[in-house]
Amino acid sequence: MKITDVKTFVVGNPPPHFGGRYWIFLKLTTDGGIVGYGEVYSVPFHPHVVAKMIEDVCERKVIGSDPFKIERLWRNIYSSGFTQRPDTSILGILSGIEMACWDIVGKALNKPVYELLGGQVHEKLRSYTYIYPEERDQTGVYHDPQLAAERASEYVQQGFTAVKFDPVGPYSAFDPRQLSLEALDLSEQFVKLIRAAVGNKCDLLFGTHGQMTPAGAIRLAKRLEPYDPLWLEEPTPPEMPEEMAVVARQTSIPIATGERLTTKYEFARVLANRSASILQIALGRVGGILEAKKIAGMAEAHYAQIAPHLYCGPIAGAADIQLSTCIPNFLMQESILMWGGFYAEILREPIQWQDGYIIPPSKPGLGVELNEEVAARHPYKGDKLHLEMHDKPVTNEVF
């Protein structure tokens, strides 16, 4: 079997844009007509440039290759241009290509990917969601702790057993920083009111985006500890896990990190330094499914758990589900609400979610198919990237 063709899709995610401004998908086709889909997450170039990068890599390394030889293909792409180091650009592209190969392999063997990676461990997958704004809101859910508490209570009624929120304020290219007292007070109010609203029926996941110095993160953690959050996410920037370990040693709250990391090599530093006990692997960036499986195995030996990150489209989400289904140290899966709306429309059949849990698919490959007609009707025409940081130092942390 040989890969003979590649096609890319840059899809604009309609309002309210939950999951990002756009999604980048790719399709590989074999000489036998088997199709595999993949998704590339948040490469730091305009998505149409990223599409050209995907085509370039495929023309040089993928077309003519056997999709079953994933390890060989991975090493050749990873080492392309004498790089051979963790890099979000090449690893994002490699991730999408790799998951498309797994989709092909699963379809060729008529098996879900998880059955080819050790077999199904979990019959259903616990999921969580961010607390999202709605059109009916009179205030902003990201700066109104009472509204956030009410929304969290609604999510619990829908079946969620964990919710995430990030009230500390904007993230900037000039972080890390010390949070203001106002930001610390607001953060404490969020966890206090949400805990009061949901009781012990729901875990609280406190999200940050590397805004703080270790000393600043420890100050915040002391405010949050009385309300027992399940995790404090990426309290310091991802480039120095040794500094994140300083935070982990000074708080009882488990530290979670990983959405901006790639490959087993970067996660090895996190584990070696005990920087975090919860790893948020992003399948569309980390290097793909097999690389994530290796990281999960490393984490298992350190008694660390896996909570895959998802702020992109449902093809990467489907890859997350395949991984999560077959690893013993799975904790929970990020969801964009209940996988409805455009998340369902862009697929031939939606991902199944029921009473707070994702139901792993039994269909072969990734278990989902991109609706290419819907993708074609929603081209991305903007000029902004998937996520943008403030380009000036933050002087007022509150939204």
What confidence tens digit (pLDDT) does each residue in 69-112 have? Answer: 999 999 999 999 999 999 999 999 999 999 999 999 999 999 99
C-alpha to C-alpha distance for 50 and 139, rounded to whole angstroms? 37
In the sheet that holds 35-40, the strands lie side by side as 3-12, 22-30, 35-40
209 is catalytic: yes
Element (H, E) at 278: strand 278-279
Task: Identify the pLDDT of residue 397.
Answer: 59
- Distances in Å between the alpha carbon of 131 and those of 15, 141, 154, 318, 319? 16, 8, 10, 22, 23
Helix residue ranges per DSSP H, the chain: 47-57, 70-78, 88-109, 145-158, 181-198, 214-224, 241-249, 263-272, 289-301, 314-325, 342-345, 372-376
Find the mean pLDDT for residues 25-50.
98
Task: Identify the pLDDT of residue 395.
Answer: 82
User: What residues contact 33, with CB distance under 8 A and at least 6 apart?
Assistant: none
In tens, the pLDDT along 361-370 reads 999 999 999 9
Burial class (CB in 10 A: 0-12, 13-18, 19+), 209: buried
Q: What is the CB-side half-sphere exposure of residue 108 using CA atoms within 13 A?
A: 21
- SS3 of residue 186 by DSSP: helix
Comparing C-alpha atoms, which of 121, 123, 202 is closest to residue 156? Answer: 202
**If you average pLDDT over every residue of the chain, what do you get?**
97
Structure token digits, residue 197? 């609203």
User: What residues contact 342, with CB distance under 8 A and at least 6 apart?
Assistant: 13, 14, 378
| pLDDT higher than threshold 60 for residue 342 | yes
Structure token digits, residue 312? 């992109």
- Domains of the chain: which residue ranges? 3-110, 115-366
In tens, the pLDDT along 249-308 reads 999 999 999 999 999 999 999 999 999 999 999 999 999 999 999 999 999 999 999 999
Give me the CATH topology for the region 115-366. Answer: TIM Barrel (3.20.20)
What CATH number matches the domain at 3-110, 3.30.390.10, 3.40.50.300, 3.90.800.10, 3.40.50.720? Answer: 3.30.390.10
Give the predicted TM-score (pTM) of the model.
0.97
Q: Which of 309, 378, 386, 390 is catalytic?
A: 309
Q: Which of 46, 48, 122, 209 is catalytic?
A: 209
Same fold, 3-110 and 115-366: no
Residues in a beta bridge with 127: 333
